[in-house]
Chains A and B, each alone.
Chain A
Amino acid sequence: MIELKGIRIGYGAQVLVTGANAVFPQSSLTSLIGRNGAGKSTLLRAIAGIGKIMDGEIIVDEKSRFESAMERAKYIAFVSTQRVKIANMRCRDLVGLGRAPYTDWVGRLSKSDNEIVATSLELVGMKEYANRTLDTMSDGECQRIMIARALAQDTPNILLDEPTSFLDLPNRYQLMELLGDLAHNHGKTILLSTHELDIALSKGDNIALIDTPELKLLPTSESHTRNVVATAFGINNLF
């Protein structure tokens, strides 16, 4: 569960979001939407612990701060938009790095770690790629491996910054279904940013809309959500 209390974010003197209060409950899939530059990534990065907030409090599973990066890594996994193509790195090894918060000082994987790696690869449909190296794969395939790595990190909360951006249409829906399954059947809290309003509205439980400078949390099940989103994006008729 992720709780935002009176969050203000931005950079320099520019404030992007202010007074944001929201709860992303356990077993839910929330899509963070907003215009370009609205602060989606900034907000996700702040929750992930690699960005700063200007004011307010972020509470993750009842903790408002973590003792160390290692401790935080057991609670939050993050998938960024950064392209990762490492020569000579096998998918299996990269997903194995997700086990870092639990492994010994050189990062040796135990038998159960290896099983988690295999399961994570299978979940994103990349089981056959275990021994492929990342430099021989497409952006979309690398993206799915990075998601498998986040799953291997085995955290109650997963943040994803535009995870669908490199994927083709069938894979987008497949990924959203996988994330929905992880939320509803495995009790995870999932927060992802996206530009795809139709996917966000049809596949998520909640919409977190950045309607500058406000953050609005809207359940997708309620009919007025579409109107609010449409107004925020300046579209007269959404679907």
Chain B
Amino acid sequence: MKGRITIIFIVLTLFTVLLLLVDIGAGSVKLSIGDVAKALIGESEDPAVSKIVIDIRLIKSIVAILAGAALSISGLQMQTMFRNPLAGPYVLGVSSGASLAVALFILGLPGLGMQSGIMSTIGMTGAALLGSGIVLALVAVVGRRIKDIMVVLILGMMVSSGISAIVQILQYMSSDEALKSFVIWTMGSLGNVTSEQLPILLAVVFIGLILAVATIKSLNLLLLGEEYAVTMGYNSRRGRTMILMSTALLAGSVTAFCGPIGFIGLALPHVARAIFGSADHRILIPGVALTGAAVMLGCDIVSKILVIPINAITALIGIPIVIWIVFRQRAV
């Protein structure tokens, strides 16, 4: 049992490294895996190749890994916490909160006469982070007072839908130009993170990851439902706060920098459970992070080759997985 899981981890890690090399090699200037590997260890003869690999493409690939891992962990946390196979990182309104803030920023800016390029990139990220943070803080604060965890889920979904409606009103009232840049944001992009922003994303995801690891025991108890978990020593206030904070940091930061990337967080926990054949979060947390990183790299490769937005790819890959889950569960 232990041996089998170790082997899966090793194979997956090697596969992820391979995907990373292919991902860095893919693009308008095609590079072989060997070229990429040489450039990464600083032994490339061609300074231009080295520059493309290290300065440009590596950042995007790291973002892909971070986004895949963060969204997948967050999705796993939500599915376990709510005991709902269709929960995901955005179920409590992380993305709709971010969308509203970005919509206010993009669609509201022309009215304020502020539209310089750099200003709006930094501002969009900041706005999205703020928006998702506020919504999750709201859900967390109210959620502490609510006994039944399902009520928290319903509350989150309602808040999320309500906010989406407000975003629609904003879209309806905005100019064509502003609307286009907002729609492009909603399509997601792994390429907007600059080398200055990367450490911020890295740090926030890292803190979210540490929190996620700290919730492993709680998540395992929550598999039995919150009530059982409490009778077995789970502190529901502390547990909920930690899990929601972890999800806010993981999904909130990725959404802020990359836009709302769909389906990864919903589909990958199921993939990881199937691959590892386990329900134990000591295996699933690292497992889903690795699987998520690999799938996100794969999506990025496809998106580069076909030159289409990342969200279209994640949906096209995610939807068959979700359908498969539904059918498999009906069969059981």
In the complex formed, the residue of B with least CB distance to A93 is: B280
Measured CB to CB, the closest approach of chain B to A182, in angstroms, equals: 18
- Bound: A101/B217 CA distance, A: 11
- Contact between chains at B232 and A97 (CB < 8 Å): yes
Known contacts being A69-B235, A93-B280, A101-B233, is A107 close to B227, with CB within 8 Å?
Answer: no
Chain A residues with Cβ under 8 A from B227's Cβ?
45, 50, 80, 82
CA distance A94 to B231 in the complex (A): 14
Residue from B213, B232, B236, B273 within 8 A of A88 (CB atoms): B273
With contacts A82-B225, A86-B279, A88-B278 taken as known, whether A107 is within 8 angstroms of B216 at the C-beta atoms is yes
Question: What is the CA–CA distance of A97 and B279 in the complex, to the nearest angstrom?
Answer: 12
Cα distance, A73 to B279, chains bound together (Å): 23
| Alpha-carbon distance A71/B232, docked complex (angstroms) | 9
Known A-B contacts A88-B279, A97-B224, A135-B332; the reply to A73 vs B231 at CB < 8 A is yes
> In this assembly, does A217 line the interface, its C-beta being within 8 Å of a C-beta of chain B?
no
Check A106–B282 contact: CB distance below 8 A.
yes
Among B214, B221, B228, the one with the most A-chain Cβ atoms within 10 Å of its Cβ is B228
Chain B interface size, as a band, is 20 to 34
Q: Does B234 contact A (CB under 8 A)?
A: yes
Q: Which of A72-98 contact B (CB under 8 A)?
A: 72-74, 76-78, 80, 82, 84, 86-89, 93-94, 97-98
Q: Which of B223, B233, B235, B282 contacts A89 (CB 8 A)?
A: B223
Q: Is there an interface contact between A70 and B280, defined as CB atoms closer than 8 Å?
A: no
A114 to chain B, nearest CB (A): 13
B17 at the interface (CB under 8 A from A): no
Contact B231 A48 (CB under 8 A): yes
Chain A, interface SS category: loop
Nearest-neighbour CB distance to chain B for A113, whole angstroms, equals: 13
Q: List B contacts of A49 (CB < 8 A).
A: 230-231
Contact call B220/A69, Cβ cutoff below 8 A: no
Tell whether, in the assembled complex, residue A77 and residue B231 are in contact, meaning their CB atoms are under 8 Å apart.
yes
Find out whether the CB atom of B279 lies under 8 angstroms from the CB atom of A80. no
CB-CB nearest in chain B for A101:
B233
Cβ-defined contact, B233 with A73, below 8 A: yes
Q: A68-B235, A88-B278 are in contact. Are A100 and B230 (CB under 8 A)?
A: no
Contact partners of A107 in chain B: CB under 8 A: 216-217, 220, 282
Once bound together, how far apart are the Cα atoms of A84 and B213, in whole Å? Answer: 25
With the chains together, A107 CA to B217 CA distance in Å?
6
By the criterion CB–CB under 8 Å, are A84 and B234 in contact? Answer: no
Q: Does B110 contact A (CB under 8 A)?
A: no
Q: Is B277 an interface residue (CB 8 A)?
A: yes
Do A70 and B223 touch (CB < 8 A)?
no
What 0/1 pattern do residues 35 to 49 of A give for CB contact below 8 A with B? 000000000010011
Q: Total number of A-B contacts with CB less than 8 angstroms?
A: 79
- Residue interface mask B234-268, A partner, CB < 8 A = 1: 11100000000000000000000000000000000
Contact (Cβ within 8 A) B234 A80: no
Q: Which of B274-332 contact A (CB under 8 A)?
A: 277-280, 282, 332
CB distance from B245 to the nearest CB of A (A): 17
* A82 touching B217, Cβ below 8 Å: no
Choose among A45, A82, A93, A105 the residue that contacts B214 (Cβ–Cβ < 8 A).
A105
For B234, what are the chain A residues with a Cβ–Cβ distance below 8 Å?
A: 69, 100
- In the complex, chain A residues whose CB is within 8 Å of the CB of B230: 49-50, 69
**Pick the contact of A153 from B213, B220, B232, B279 — CB < 8 Å?**
B232
Binary contact readout A48-64 vs B (1 if CB under 8 angstroms, 0 otherwise):
11100000000000000
A50 with B231: CB separation less than 8 A: yes
CB distance from B14 to the nearest CB of A (A): 24
| Distance (whole angstroms) from the CB of A225 to the closest CB of chain B | 30
Quick check: A105 and B277 within 8 Å, CB to CB?
A: no
Residue of chain A at shortest CB distance from B213: A106
Specify the chain B residue showing the minimal Cβ separation from A98.
B232
Which residues of B are found within 8 Å of A138, using beta-carbon distances? none
With A69-B235, A93-B280, A100-B233 in contact, is A84–B228 under 8 Å at CB?
Answer: yes
Chain B residues closer than 8 Å to A80, beta-carbon distance: 227-228
Residue A202, interface by CB 8 Å: no
Residues of chain B with a CB closer than 8 A to A86's CB: 223-224, 279
For the complex, is A110 an interface residue (Cβ under 8 Å from B)?
no
| Shortest Cβ distance from residue A78 to the other chain B in the assembled complex, whole angstroms | 4
Complex contacts, B235 vs chain A, CB 8 Å: 68-70
**13 further interface pairs, Cβ-Cβ under 8 Å (given A68-B235, A84-B224, A97-B220):** A49-B230, A69-B230, A69-B231, A73-B231, A87-B273, A88-B278, A88-B279, A100-B221, A100-B232, A101-B233, A103-B217, A106-B217, A135-B332
